[in-house]
């Protein structure tokens, strides 16, 4: 059997390792404090009222945006890329959902997490079964302008930064009685903040093993998004 040589981190004494680790932890603590400041600023953002009566198709049939809250005060929607003519959901979005935690933890803080895509409800149900996902609840926005209004679907299927006109993203909403407000949106790498598998890989010596990362020479790397698959498509 042929052995493949792969670069390794430097080998040092335990004292040297502890010293390097302490220096790294100090930088990570500073990063955590900066993240705390960003989170504090996010909590102070203004909000905009949603005045359109959007209609979704969910497990219980027709639903309004207010229904998606399930009676709770806050709603987080992950805009999952799955166009009406697609045969399967986005593999990157599937990664994000694979890493989503049990919703009870969010419910305890008066927050609901939901998925919204433009594919018809039947396709969502089949793909959800294929992936083995029990949660979050997945709604179809087909037939409404919700995706376009939220900036995650373009009328131009060849628009830049889209996959056949679709974009992923995360929207946050707050309700005050019957009134619904949008408080936050982020897309592209912003969704990594959801506690995704990428953040786990960031803890490892080789990181995400993608060629945009600042890694030592000869570290294993590939272009981004060419190696990740839906969880039932890996060879091993």
Per residue in 63-112, pLDDT tens? Answer: 999 999 999 988 989 999 999 999 999 988 998 899 887 788 888 788 99
Please give the angle made by the CA atoms of 97, 228 and 198, to the nearest 5 degrees.
60
Question: So what's the pLDDT on residue 84?
Answer: 92
- Average predicted confidence (pLDDT) for the chain: 87
Q: Is residue 65 part of a domain?
A: yes
Domain that holds residue 178: 48-194
Contacts of 45 (CB under 8 A, 6+ apart): 183, 184
pLDDT at 26: 97
The pLDDT of residue 182? 93
Q: Positive or negative CA dihedral for 145, 102, 25, 7?
A: negative
Domain count for the chain, please give it.
1
172-186 average pLDDT score: 92
Alpha-carbon span 213 to 227, nearest angstrom: 15
pLDDT score for 114? 94
Kindly indicate the confidence band of residue 203, based on its pLDDT and cuts at 50, 70 and 90.
Answer: low
What CATH number has the domain bearing residue 171? 3.40.30.10
Is 213 a member of any domain? no
In a domain, 82, yes or no: yes
Residue 205 covered by a domain = no
The answer as to whether 62 is a domain residue is yes
- For residue 209, is pLDDT > 70? yes
Residue 42 vs residue 55, higher pLDDT: 55
- Asked if residue 224 is part of any domain, the answer here is no
Structure tokens at 192: 């990594």
* pLDDT value at 165 more than 80: no
Alpha carbons 190 and 221: distance in angstroms, whole number = 22
Residue with tokens 């060629």: 211
Nearest to 10 by CA among 208, 207, 219: 219
Let me know if residue 32 belongs to a domain. Answer: no
Instruction: Encode pLDDT of 26-48 as tens digits.
Output: 999 999 899 889 888 888 888 99
What is the pLDDT confidence band of residue 236, given thresholds at 50, 70 and 90? low
Q: Is 207 left (phi over 0), alpha (psi -120 to 50) or beta?
A: left
Q: Does the pLDDT at position 227 exceed 70? A: yes
In a domain, 157, yes or no: yes
Rounded Cα–Cα distance for residues 191 and 185 (Å): 10
């Amino acid at each position: 059997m042929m052995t493949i040589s792969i670069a390794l981190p430097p080998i040092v004494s335990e004292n040297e390792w502890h010293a390097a680790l302490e220096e790294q932890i100090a930088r990570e603590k500073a990063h955590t404090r900066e993240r705390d400041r960003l989170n504090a600023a996010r909590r102070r953002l203004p909000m905009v009222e949603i005045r359109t009566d959007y209609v979704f198709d969910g497990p219980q049939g027709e639903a309004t945006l207010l229904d998606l809250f399930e009676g709770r005060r806050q709603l987080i929607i992950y805009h999952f890329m799955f166009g009406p003519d697609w045969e399967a959901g986005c593999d990157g979005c599937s990664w994000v959902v694979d890493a989503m935690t049990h919703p009870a933890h969010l419910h305890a803080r008066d927050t609901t997490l939901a998925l919204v895509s433009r594919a018809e409800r039947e396709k969502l149900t089949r793909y959800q079964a294929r992936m083995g996902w029990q949660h979050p609840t997945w709604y179809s926005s087909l037939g409404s302008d919700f995706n376009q209004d939220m900036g995650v679907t373009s009328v131009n299927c060849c628009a830049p930064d889209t996959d056949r006109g679709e974009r992923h993203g995360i929207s946050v909403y707050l309700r005050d009685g019957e009134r619904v407000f949008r408080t936050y949106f982020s897309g592209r790498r912003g969704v990594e903040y959801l506690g995704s598998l990428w953040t786990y890989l960031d803890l490892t010596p080789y990181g995400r093993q993608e060629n945009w990362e600042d890694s030592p020479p000869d570290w294993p790397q590939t272009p981004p998004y060419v190696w990740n698959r839906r969880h039932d498509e890996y060879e091993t």
